[in-house]
């Protein structure tokens, strides 16, 4: 009995350890997506202003913006800009005419128009930061919108110069591999199918916004263009 218990205990320990290594892949704390004062970037909250949470800049447990189907518990307003898509202007015609929620979620900060420091449900009990109010970021005063500054991280509203998003993945087009193709060492995906959102390529196909290890939040390090040839047989 005692031996059996011991075996059971070590089996439980092994299961716990292996599930840890399978899931403990991302650590947003040490990234530019930690927008609290402890983040590694320069665009972040001023210290000590009831704004020191991490997830809250993107997600809320309550009162989320339900217009974002597919961007879970989204805590930001829907962008108001008009987007120009890649597919409707150059090359293919299969792209959607506006970004879908999983990409719109990223663009709700990266469009250069939406306030990064604005939330639907701000941290705290509701008394300190009113809903929709901008929290104090860097040297900007509380209440001032902080938009993505010009530079490569400002994707903008014109997506013609970006890899297509909100486009259906059709094997064979642009030498795309079968969706059943196995991926090795990608964060959060075992096959190409896992990268797709409603059968489409979105920002989250290539990026995991919580992923710290591969740089620029990529799902796989792009050494030897491993990311690109994950989907394209080139
Ligand atoms: C900078 C924005 C941002 C921050 C900050 C953020 N997330 Fe996310 N999260 C996203 C987006 C965007 C998605 C959808 C991604 C996709 O399509 O793959 C997502 C998806 C998720 C999902 C569902 C998919 C999955 O990966 O399992 C969970 C759970 C989640 N986030 C939890 C968290 C938690 C917990 C925190 C804080 C520690 C956090 N997120 C911080 C943007 C963010
Ligand atoms: C709440 C606002 C917010 C959301 C939502 C958001 N980001 Fe960011 N992201 C930032 C900020 C701020 C930076 C830092 C920009 C800078 O320093 O120029 C950043 C930086 C990045 C970078 C560059 C990282 C580096 O190491 O240089 C990538 C890549 C990125 N974001 C991708 C995404 C993707 C993909 C999504 C959606 C899945 C997303 N972001 C959603 C705010 C956001
Ligand atoms: C097909 C894959 C793919 C898709 C889809 C994609 N990205 Fe990227 N993204 C990359 C790669 C690869 C890099 C790294 C480029 C580099 O190192 O210069 C990158 C870099 C970035 C950067 C950092 C700035 C830069 O150019 O280095 C930001 C910000 C970013 N992506 C945001 C987004 C957003 C927002 C979306 C959706 C609208 C998106 N990405 C869709 C592959 C992709
Ligand atoms: C998640 C799968 C995926 C990944 C990863 C990916 N792509 Fe794509 N790529 C697509 C899809 C889907 C299309 C749209 C094909 C179509 O229907 O025209 C596309 C289109 C393209 C096109 C445009 C073809 C045209 O006809 O205009 C180029 C170029 C391209 N990808 C290059 C890249 C590069 C470079 C990388 C790595 C940075 C990359 N892709 C990573 C899925 C992917």
Dist. CA 1 → ligand 2 center (Å): 54
Q: Is 167 in the pocket of ligand 4 (CB under 6 A)?
A: yes
Nearest atom, ligand 1, residue 26 CA: 26
Whole-number Å distance between alpha carbons of 208 and 190: 14
8 Å CB contact between 191 and 179:
yes
Q: Is the CB of 28 under 6 A from ligand 1?
A: yes
The minimum-distance atom of ligand 1 relative to the CA of 105 is 12
CA distances from 214 to 132, 189, 200 (A): 33, 14, 23
The predicted pLDDT at position 23 comes to 42
Q: How many helices (H) and strands (E) does the chain have?
A: 4, 2
Distance 41 CA to ligand 2 centre (A): 10
Quote the pLDDT of residue 151: 96
The whole-number pLDDT of residue 43 equals 94
The tokens for 12 are 């439980």
pLDDT at 92: 59
Closest ligand 3 atom, residue 153 Cα: 29
Please identify, by atom number, the ligand 4 atom nearest to the C-alpha of residue 95.
Answer: 17
- Atom 36 of ligand 3 has which residue's CA nearest to it? 203
- Which residues face 200 on adjacent strands? 168, 197
- In the block, tokens 């989907």 appear at 231
Q: Is any atom of ligand 2 closer than 6 Å to the C-beta of 137?
A: no
* Ligand 3, CB cutoff 6 Å, lining residues: 103, 106-107, 110, 152-153, 155, 162-163, 165, 201, 203, 205-207, 216, 218, 222, 227
Residue 115, beta-bridge partner list:
none
- Enter the pTM of the model: 0.92
Predicted local confidence at residue 13, as pLDDT: 41
Q: Cα dihedral sign for 221, 212, 159, 192?
A: positive
Task: Extract the tokens encoding 65.
Answer: 């913006």
**Phi and psi dihedrals of 6, rounded to 5?**
-60, -45
C-beta of 222 in contact with ligand 2 (< 6 A): no
* Ligand positioned closest to the Cα atom of 148: 2
Structure tokens at 127: 């008394």
Q: Is the CB of 182 under 6 A from ligand 2?
A: no
**Regarding beta strands 200-201 and 167-168, do their DSSP bridges make them parallel or antiparallel, or are they unpaired?**
antiparallel
Domain ranges within the chain, ordered by starting residue: 27-83+101-157, 169-234
Burial (CB < 10 A; 0-12, 13-18, 19+), residue 70, is middle
Residues of the chain whose pLDDT is less than 70?
A: 1-25, 88-93, 126-133
Cα angle 166, 62, 126 (rounded to 5 degrees) comes to 120
- Structure token pair of residue 173: 């087009």
pLDDT of residue 221: 96
User: Residue 1: its pLDDT value, please?
Assistant: 41
């Amino acid at each position: 009995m005692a031996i059996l218990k011991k075996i059971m205990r070590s089996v439980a320990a092994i299961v716990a350890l292996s599930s840890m290594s399978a899931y403990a892949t991302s650590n947003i704390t040490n990234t530019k997506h930690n927008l609290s004062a402890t983040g590694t970037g320069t665009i972040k909250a001023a210290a000590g202003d009831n704004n020191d949470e991490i997830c809250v800049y993107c997600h809320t447990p309550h009162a989320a913006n339900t217009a974002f189907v597919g961007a879970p518990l989204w805590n930001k307003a829907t962008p108001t800009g008009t987007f120009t898509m890649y597919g409707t202007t150059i090359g293919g015609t299969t792209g959607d005419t506006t970004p879908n929620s999983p990409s719109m979620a990223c663009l709700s900060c990266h469009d250069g128009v939406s306030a990064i420091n604005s939330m639907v449900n701000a941290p705290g009990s509701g008394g300190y930061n009113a809903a929709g109010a901008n929290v104090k970021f860097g040297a900007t005063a509380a209440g001032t919108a902080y938009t993505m500054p010009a530079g490569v991280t400002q994707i903008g509203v014109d997506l013609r110069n970006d890899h297509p998003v909100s486009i259906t993945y059709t094997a064979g087009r642009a030498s795309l591999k079968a969706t059943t193709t196995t991926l090795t060492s990608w964060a959060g995906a075992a096959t190409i199918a896992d990268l797709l959102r409603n059968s489409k390529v979105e920002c989250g196909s290539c990026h995991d916004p919580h992923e710290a290890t591969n740089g620029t939040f990529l799902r796989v390090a792009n050494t030897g263009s491993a990311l690109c040839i994950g989907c394209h047989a080139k």
